[in-house]
A and B are shown apart, each in its own frame.
Chain A
Amino acid sequence: MLFRERYEHELRLVRGSQAWVVAGLAGALLLALPFLVKGYLVYNMTLFLVYALVALSLSVLVGLTGQVSLGHAGFLAAGAYVFVLATQHGLPYLLAVLAAVLVSAVLGVVIGVPSLRLEGPYLAIATLGFGLAVQQILTNWRLVGASRGTLVDRPVILGIDFYGDRAYYYLVLALAGFVTWMLFNLERSHVGRAFRATRDADLAAQMSGIGLARYKTLAFVISAAVAGLAGALYGPLVGYITPEGFNLLLSIKFLLMTVVGGLGFLPGALLGAGFITGLDLVLSTFRSWSQLTFGAVVIAVMMLEPAGLYGRWLKIKQFWKSWPL
């Protein structure tokens, strides 16, 4: 199915038999992976899943509604720290995760509402400031270890210990998989179309009865909540969190994932997260050349492929499908 010809096509989550095969293979691979590779790769895969959530959350915000954010490490930090505080106060795991998501969502409102009137560079700098402010507040907040950071334990849920790499991987995979599925559904729903309408022509969207303020804020809230969830998963994964870890560089990396992967496509965010996490892993033995190489790769992607990695994938797919036309 090369083109979407009917409204039902538009509504489908997985389009066409080949897509089913790809999705099935990817799912099977993700499930089998911990038994195929060594522990450190399981760790890196889990980190990829966490970063993929952040990249997805940014993709909803930047890709679907066109609001740029250079402060998503701030939401990640908020999620991670709320999770730690909640578990320290004896909240069970899932409630602690929920608390992290809720607090981040509230922060999303706090940032989203003043951002309604902002666009482009103004919004970029305002969100950048949000990220820095979160970092500074945490650095001076004694309750959560201030600049020394704090240790985070892996959870025990209903007597099941998730300390091991595989166990924790499956926990993250389950939660990340569920949220990814929700976001893919959201994109196809009327909300997703409203998001895209505000991005492409906000005045026209408003004329068509889409409440700009409502949808723009909603995008911020969803994005912040998902990033907060990623934060709650990030803490126990790394085992130790410190304010300096949630810096501007990390926020920039998340934006890189989203754009390099392919802006406006949710699968692109997944590709981008995998690409950047993998690039970091490969470059860790490049010594003094690593930063230059990283920058050069990013430049190359932006210069060669306007729609990012996912765009390239779509083109390759189109080429084979329509071959030899």
Chain B
Amino acid sequence: MSGNDPIPPHQIAWVFDLNKCSGCQTCSVACKVHWNAESDTDAMWWCTVNTQPGRGTPRDYEEMGGGYDSAGNLRLGQLPTLEEFGGAWDFNWKEVYYGGKGRETFLGPTNGGPSWGMNWDEDQGAGEYPNAYFFYLPRLCNHCSRPACLDACPEQAIYKRPSDGLVLRDEARCEGHQQCMRGCPYKKIYFNAQRGVAQHCIGCFPRLEKGVAPACVRQCPGRGVFIGFLDDADSAVHRLVEDWRVALPLHPEWNTRPNVFYVPPLSPFKLREDRSVDESERRLPISYLESLFGTEVRGALHTLEGELARRKRGEPSELLDTLIAYEWKELLGPFSADPAEIAWD
């Protein structure tokens, strides 16, 4: 924790199981419909899912810098450009439908010559056919325990809530300097030009406050996201992160101590040149996973594979039972309230 803010007693955390994430973007869309559905916020996707390996969103964000060096000094990185975020396209619906031009025109983005978007390199990945590989990585604000955005803000507009550890911005204080966007190494902060403020995932705090899980969690049809308090030893997030150590933060070397964790992906076994199966190696190179999740990813995958082998032999596995989450509400931790049941005063 940087600055003088106390470490919050309760820290909320997300665990995304990448073996369940099918890249459908329901989390991204649910988030957007909640908070950024207006057309002047077309470019703003507080939650995104990208194909990995890939350049991500904003494009090549991993090269842009930010976070802390190993000595704990804040590093301001680049400010991503609108072009690097991409998207925010207008389309010529009216011209096509009612313009009287017939087949001389066709529907497509009309502004800016599209060169990138929130999911531009979807399903491209890497490797050589047939051993091509990829997986999906959902990303939102990491609600870090050492939030570089908070440190970077010259207006002290960003705060970490004591009640749940969410990193939020007081929009009345934000002056739109966009230093937070340079400080955040994950580049998950957007500038709302209409309102002159930077914005990022708010953890769906109005929902949390009513005991309802965030939209990205509650709407995930893959049942792939767990939420809960990291300090609650009984919670699934605690067990996966602290006990089983199968859920890891993205780019721990950026030193912001994220509170979004990922169960690393398995992948099919490799094929040899003659197309026979090599069961000693999976397609996703471990070196690539290490570049994302650090060296601990080896141990996490080892644990996961070990438990899978046990289960295949018909033995019980507490870890796999947790990941299966027989009842959906197991994923939601204390946030299992049904929003439709809320009676507003």
Q: Do A and B bind each other?
A: no
Chain B residues with a Cβ under 8 A of chain A: none
